[in-house]
Amino acid sequence: MSTLPKIAWIGLGIMGSPMSENLIKAGYDVTGFTLEQDKLDRLAAAGGTAAKSIAEAVKDADVVVTMVPASPQVEAIAYGPDGILENAKSGALIVDMSSITPQTSVDLAKNAKEKGIRVIDAPVSGGEAGAIEAVLSIMVGGEQADFDEAKPLLEALGKTIVLCGPHGSGQTVKAANQLIVAVNIQACAEAVVFLEKSGVDLTAALDVLNGGLAGSTVLTRKKDNFLNRDFKPGFRIDLHHKDMGIVTDAARNVGASLPVGAVVAQLVASLRAQGDGGLDHSALLRSVERLSGEKPAA
């Protein structure tokens, strides 16, 4: 009989589905809930158990992992009579892997403590590919003992797993991550348009750039998106727009100036307003093309 903790997984989207499947592969008993039946069918096909409600999913769980889009969704699944806090057993550990505001994480930990439930915030970076390959970077906020308890589970999902400080710290580091990624994608997109308009072989140029100081994980992961104009969502512009709102608000609260970040936040918002919010964030290239007098591919 398995001595591994029993897992409830709430949220089976682009990231949540492959992540939950990696836990199943690692030998965990995973019961999941999400709103889409096809995602529940996928979990069951992978060897998990599909629940009919949050309450059913969490009632016997030792660890509840949540992976939903934003703070309102975390609050919706956590609170209320049908939520996690009212239905999880005392002593359970919530591992919230959503990307939300630091304050939402702090509030969740405080409210959960009153129910005898522990929480760590554990947002991730690495996108869909990182989720599938179980090589995510996981930034954690919370108590050391809870981090230590969760670490074997997190090691089935990622490669770089770091406790960054108290509750909310993981979300703060994730906000910084999203700032760096957005600025990096924007710089790559501008370079692509500059190179193409200059008549340079783009494949050769990106290969040599990625071998030097301009190289980055962003360029490695997104190079084919740029070359093929393939913007199938691994991480949607809509979600990056949400994250840029989080980082600009958090920076304002602590008195940090983000001049380049503020510009890129506006470019992300502009791309979303033009109807491209459902595309991958590498679609920032489309915005640069428009600004440069080019019509993006349909």
Measure the CA–CA gap between 15 and 134, rounded to whole angstroms: 11
Please identify which of the residues 39, 174, 222, 223 carries the catalytic annotation.
Answer: 174
Beta-strand pair 30-33/93-96: unpaired
Residue type, 169: S
Q: How would DSSP label each residue in 179-207?
A: HHHHHHHHHHHHHHHHHHHTT--HHHHHH
Q: Which stretches of 211-258 are DSSP H helices?
A: 217-228, 237-254
Write down how long the chain is.
298
| Residue 165 three-state SS | strand
Residues near 222 by beta carbon (within 8 Å), at least 6 away in sequence = 185, 188, 282
Q: Which stretches of 26-143 are DSSP H helices?
A: 37-45, 54-58, 71-78, 84-87, 102-113, 127-133
DSSP assignment letter at 279: S
For 161, list phi and psi in degrees, rounded to 5.
-130, 115
Residues near 65 by beta carbon (within 8 Å), at least 6 away in sequence = 7, 8, 9, 10, 19, 20, 23, 94, 95, 96, 97, 153
Examine the residue annotation and report whether 89 is marked as an active-site residue of this protein: no
Six token digits for residue 54: 């949050």
Residues near 100 by beta carbon (within 8 Å), at least 6 away in sequence = 70, 71, 74, 121, 123, 171, 246
Measure the CA–CA gap between 142 and 29, rounded to whole angstroms: 24
List residues with catalytic annotation: 174
